[in-house]
Amino acid sequence: MELDYIDLMIIHSPQSWNDFRNGEHFFEGDLAAWQALEEAYRVGKLRAIGVSNFAQVDIENLLKNGTVKPMVNQILTHIGHTPSDLISYCQENEILVEAYSPVARCSSSNSSSYLTHFYRSF
């Protein structure tokens, strides 16, 4: 790519997709990955570092054991799923929240009445 730096790099998930949200945490692995991002940030290779799909407990691990606070947490957030407690926690800790799938996950089976009404209003 021949770049001097990358604007933002995030850890995509605190668990592997096979283990995602099963209650198991991978604090040591998350911290090792985070420390690699911190080092790249310190030397200027990354302008910002963050996480994606991290729950509060996963972020707390990084805040307690890391040296650079995550700058962003990219989370699934839409009209049918708004994790208000996590959003508040991130805001209280000055971590930007970035939503993915902000208009919901659309498919033919996703025809709930509030989404249908929402889409038709535009």
What residue spans define the domains of the chain?
Answer: 6-120
pLDDT at 85 exceeding the cut of 60:
yes
Q: What average pLDDT does the structure give for the chain?
A: 87
For residue 24, the model assigns a pLDDT of: 73
Q: Are 54 and 86 in contact (CB under 8 A)?
A: no
- Look at domain 6-120 and name its CATH class: alpha beta
pLDDT at 109 exceeding the cut of 60:
no
Model confidence over 22-74: pLDDT tens digits? 667 788 999 999 999 999 999 999 999 999 999 999 999 999 999 999 999 99
For residue 79, the model assigns a pLDDT of: 80
- 116 or 53: whose pLDDT is higher? 53
For residue 17, the model assigns a pLDDT of: 62
Using the Cα atoms of residue 25, residue 29, residue 71 and residue 100 in order, give the sign of their dihedral. negative
